[in-house]
Structure 1
Amino acid sequence: MQKTITDQNLCILIDILIKEGTRVVAPRQSGSIILYEPLDSGEQLALGTLPRRSAKETFFPLCETILTYERNCDGVKVADVDVAAFPETVLVGARPCDAAAPSILDAVFTWDYNDEFFLERRRKTTIIGLACATADDACFCTATGLSPQDSKGSDLFLTPLTEGGYACDGFTEKGKAFLGRYASLFGEQGETKPLPVSEPVAFRLDLAEIKTWLTENFESPLWQEIADRCAGCGACAFLCPVCHCFDIVDEGTDAKGARRKSWDACGFGKFTNHASGHNPRDIQNKRYRNRIMHKFKYYGDKFGQTLCTGCGRCIRHCPVGIDIKAVLEKIQKQ
């Protein structure tokens, strides 16, 4: 049966989790912007605005150590990172475009190798999703198969109510167990009504049609027009819930150091630079083409999923004003 939780009890729940030693990640004020970050108390919860960056950092940090090494008189000692030490985590207030992302990324992180860093964080994280009550011109989740009330990827899902507080549904065994454990903070569903939802501006994509065009037009001159403004800054990839490129670099000296995995982006000029000096994506329109091909063709070819959740962050924060919705519409009209 659907439960409810008040705003006050949601903050109390967060305080209890933190006291128990659980890492709670949620939208919070960070300077002048809202980010998904670990909370110190329930009072820091800020659910009114979509965070600037996505929630993927909860599972896939910007930079993480994967091993350390140290040379001593006996040789070189290599130490793996103990993934079992990763903390139990609850991600609170993940919008549908963010909550759906980890299950999309599962495919690539379990493809030809199980990335235990990503997978252990996934196993230890309970996702409490949150329905969106508002949308702006950049939102297009409905065009990628989601919606402002989509519970995909959430263990529990909160829906804002007109009287305040939230309706709460458990969708997985993990979510139902969580509801049972903290049952005293949840009430029964009464005559409450969901807050009216402002749907994203009508925007329709025929993803199959777009994929067909991409398959047949790798060398189209349209790519030059589409990518003419791209600065190759990588902001779109770093803000995206499902972009997942990374580099691995050894940092330190010959005496000691660490091997670290850090985010990368296919829009960077040296991303495909070979040791020989040859770069198969030597100009920016080739790199932007790869971004669109990866999201709307390659990932679908490999895993049967679209590598985009329509969050709109790449539109809002592109420094040169590239609108991926406009790009896809242009392709769709060809």
Structure 2
Amino acid sequence: MHTFISAHNLNTFLNTLIAAGTRVVAPRLNAGTVLYEPLQNAAELVLDQLPRRSGKEAFFPLCEDIMSYRKEGQQVTLQTVDPALFPETVLFGVRPCDAAAVPVLDAVFSWDYQDEFFLERRRKTTVIGLACTSADDACFCTAVGLSPAATAGSDLFLTPMSGGGYRCAACTEKGEALLQQHRGLFSPSSDHEPLPLAEPQVERIDLARVKAWLDTHFEDPAWDGIATRCVGCGLCAFVCPACHCFDIVDEGTEKAGKRRKNWDACGFWKFTHHASGHNPRDQQPKRYRNRIMHKFKYYDDKFGQTLCTGCGRCIRLCPVGIDIAAIVDEISTK
């Protein structure tokens, strides 16, 4: 059932959560850049721009401690991080392309190994999605089967209304519970119509044809042309809402330090560099091929869906202008 919340009541809702000790992560301005970050108050909220990085950092941090160690004489002390101490979180203002990546990551981190750090943060996070009413020429969510109003991954979903305020729909039991806790701020309905939705640049790509080509063209010479510009900076993976590669590294000295989980990227030369010195992806085209294969074949083989939500960040921010949507679209016509 749809309900309505005014812009004023929405600010009250967020401020009430913050005052109660809930970590509210939402788009805010930081040194000229909009990022998903914890709010101090609702006045910091910025909803007219897609954040530069995705919302996955709320439950999959760029760097996180797993344990620390200290050696004094012959005594070694280990201290582990207790996931039970992770805070209750509301991830607010999440665009459909970011929210749709949440169940994609859920599958990865609960597949053959239960990642308690990721899963505990997810259990404690309520995702409030927001429909898109604007798009640029890098947006291509519709090309991968989503839409500016897709509710996948959201617990609550907001749609901007023409007269101000938002229509709100509960998508999960978690979302319904949060709505009921603050039901005094919501009204049954609004007399206004929803604002027109955004129109992404690329309407649709035949993903079945893309996968069929990838299934049989691992060694195709076309890869040299596709990846000739890639410099292996890893930016595309770091801004992507669905990329999830990480490394575990011990940082410190023999006396003290930490074991940390840090983001990694298959575009990096060292990602597949063996201790023997051999690197099966010793050239950049091979590494970029893996990126395309992972998103449009390997993940599909394992989980039955595409590892791309069409957010367009990798297109906007690539320093050499690589357009993954154009590449995949071209593959679909081969």
- For Structure 1 versus Structure 2, the TM-score category normalised by the shorter chain is over 0.9
What residue in structure 2 maps to residue 191 of structure 1? 191
Offset of residue 122 of structure 1: 0.3
What residue in structure 2 maps to residue 2 of structure 1? 2
Offset of residue 47 of structure 1: 0.5
**Residues 195-210 of structure 1 aligned to structure 2 (within 5 Å):** 195-210=195-210
What residue in structure 2 maps to residue 255 of structure 1? 255
The ranges of structure 1 where at least 4 consecutive aligned residues each deviate by more than 6 angstroms after the TM superposition are none
What residue in structure 1 maps to residue 229 of structure 2? 229
Task: Tell me how far apart the structure 1 counterparts of residues 190 and 326 of structure 2 sit (CA, whole Å).
Answer: 43
- SS at 1:270's partner residue? helix
TM-score of the superposed pair, with normalisation by structure 1: 0.98
Q: Which amino acid aligns with 1:315?
A: I
Q: Does 1:278 align with 2:275?
A: no
What residue in structure 1 maps to residue 116 of structure 2? 116
- SS at 1:188's partner residue? coil
Question: Over the residues paired in the alignment, what is the CA RMSD in angstroms?
Answer: 0.9
How many pairs align?
334
What residue in structure 2 maps to residue 310 of structure 1? 310
What residue in structure 2 maps to residue 139 of structure 1? 139
Offset of residue 277 of structure 1: 0.5
Q: Does 1:239 align with 2:239?
A: yes
- SS at 2:270's partner residue? coil
Offset of residue 74 of structure 1: 5.8
Q: Does 1:99 align with 2:103?
A: no
Q: Which amino acid aligns with 1:298?
A: Y
- SS at 2:271's partner residue? coil
The Cα offsets for residues 274-316 of structure 1, whole Å up to 9 and x where unpaired, read as 0000000000000000000000000011111210000000000
What residue in structure 2 maps to residue 76 of structure 1? 76
What residue in structure 1 maps to residue 166 of structure 2? 166
Offset of residue 72 of structure 1: 3.0
Task: Tell me how far apart the structure 2 counterparts of residues 9 and 124 of structure 1 sit (CA, whole Å).
Answer: 24
**Residues 23-38 of structure 1 aligned to structure 2 (within 5 Å):** 23-38=23-38
Task: Tell me how far apart the structure 1 counterparts of residues 330 and 2 of structure 2 sit (CA, whole Å).
Answer: 43
Task: Tell me how far apart the structure 1 counterparts of residues 198 and 141 of structure 2 sit (CA, whole Å).
Answer: 13
Task: Tell me how far apart the structure 1 counterparts of residues 148 and 101 of structure 2 sit (CA, whole Å).
Answer: 14
- SS at 1:69's partner residue? strand
Offset of residue 101 of structure 1: 0.8
TM-score of the superposed pair, with normalisation by structure 2: 0.98
Task: Tell me how far apart the structure 2 counterparts of residues 43 and 63 of structure 1 sit (CA, whole Å).
Answer: 28
Q: Which amino acid aligns with 2:115?
A: D
On the 8 A contact 2:34/2:46 being kept in 1, the answer is yes
What residue in structure 2 maps to residue 11 of structure 1? 11
What residue in structure 2 maps to residue 213 of structure 1? 213
Task: Tell me how far apart the structure 2 counterparts of residues 215 and 283 of structure 1 sit (CA, whole Å).
Answer: 21
Offset of residue 8 of structure 1: 1.2
Offset of residue 208 of structure 1: 1.1
What residue in structure 1 maps to residue 265 of structure 2? 265
- SS at 1:296's partner residue? helix
Answer with 67-76 or 36-45: which moved more: 67-76
- SS at 1:319's partner residue? coil
On the 8 A contact 2:235/2:314 being kept in 1, the answer is yes
What residue in structure 1 maps to residue 295 of structure 2? 295
Q: Which amino acid aligns with 2:158?
A: L
| Unpaired runs of at least 5, structure 2 | none
Q: Which amino acid aligns with 2:245?
A: C
Task: Tell me how far apart the structure 2 counterparts of residues 33 and 263 of structure 1 sit (CA, whole Å).
Answer: 21
Task: Tell me how far apart the structure 2 counterparts of residues 164 and 29 of structure 1 sit (CA, whole Å).
Answer: 22
Q: Does 1:60 align with 2:63?
A: no
Q: Structure 1 residues 187, 29: CA separation in 2 closer, same or farther (over 3 Å shift)?
A: same
| Unpaired runs of at least 5, structure 1 | none
Task: Tell me how far apart the structure 1 counterparts of residues 57 and 74 of structure 2 sit (CA, whole Å).
Answer: 38
Q: Does 1:178 align with 2:168?
A: no
Task: Tell me how far apart the structure 2 counterparts of residues 293 and 217 of structure 1 sit (CA, whole Å).
Answer: 10
Offset of residue 62 of structure 1: 0.4
Offset of residue 198 of structure 1: 2.5
Q: Which amino acid aligns with 1:63?
A: C
Task: Tell me how far apart the structure 2 counterparts of residues 160 and 203 of structure 1 sit (CA, whole Å).
Answer: 22
The Cα offsets for residues 221-257 of structure 1, whole Å up to 9 and x where unpaired, read as 1000000000100000000000011111101111111
Task: Tell me how far apart the structure 2 counterparts of residues 190 and 315 of structure 1 sit (CA, whole Å).
Answer: 37
